[in-house]
Structure 1
Amino acid sequence: MDTNVQRVKHLLKYTFGFVPIVAGLDKFSNILTNWSQYVSEGFAEILPFEPSTLMMIVGVVEILAGVLVLTKTKIGAIVVSVWLTAIALTLIFSWSYVDVAVRDLVMAIAAFSLAKLSDIKEVKASS
């Protein structure tokens, strides 16, 4: 595999591995932001528990997705891409945090790109 392609693949792998893990862990501490604010009022009303509990469940999913990217990159990248798309669509349908939705769609495309790069096999240079 071309060295630059390999570098891009590794950069995306570690980005989509560690960022979801950090964001997932933060769902338990709310250091980066108050994650419950992203739950729409209408959705919060139908939840059988507090929005903070939902965010902790989301956090667990994000941690698992990040670990999956680091261990089984192609599958993990597809999971992250679908997850980010689902988050973006939820935000778009509630018409809240549309800027975050756009950002998440761009990240979903990058995660999908990592999955496609994972199809490229490393070719050893012939002597």
Structure 2
Amino acid sequence: MILPNETTVAVVDGTRLRLFRNRGHEPQIDLLELPEPTIAVENQGSGGRHHSSTANPDTSRLAEDNFAAAVADHLNRQVLSGEISTLFVIADPRTLGELRRHFHDTVRAKLVGDLAKDLTAQDRQDIERILAKA
């Protein structure tokens, strides 16, 4: 894959957001890890509408959905303020689906791609290698 220069790469799972900026000139990928942002989770996820324990029996999944919604809110604000010009998202499939539900139309327009994998525990070089092969 060719990742445009200055693209922000968000690597997300249900509990952590890692942000990178691509400093490589196409076609090379050279990610610079950015400081990990503080994500304020305030029951924003889709799970908040489930009141029955049979509708959403796993409270940890509810917490992960809420985190994904809060990450989407953070990314929405970053894109709308102009701090992110292009975005690539890497997340496990369920979190990626939850993020997509909460992305603003402007974020969708700035999204250059996504990858359904859980890579939050991987080091920067592994993420670069996986992106290059995608």
| Structure-2-length-normalised TM-score | 0.31
User: Whose radius of gyration is greater, 1 or 2?
Assistant: 1
More helix by share: 1
**TM norm structure 1:** 0.32
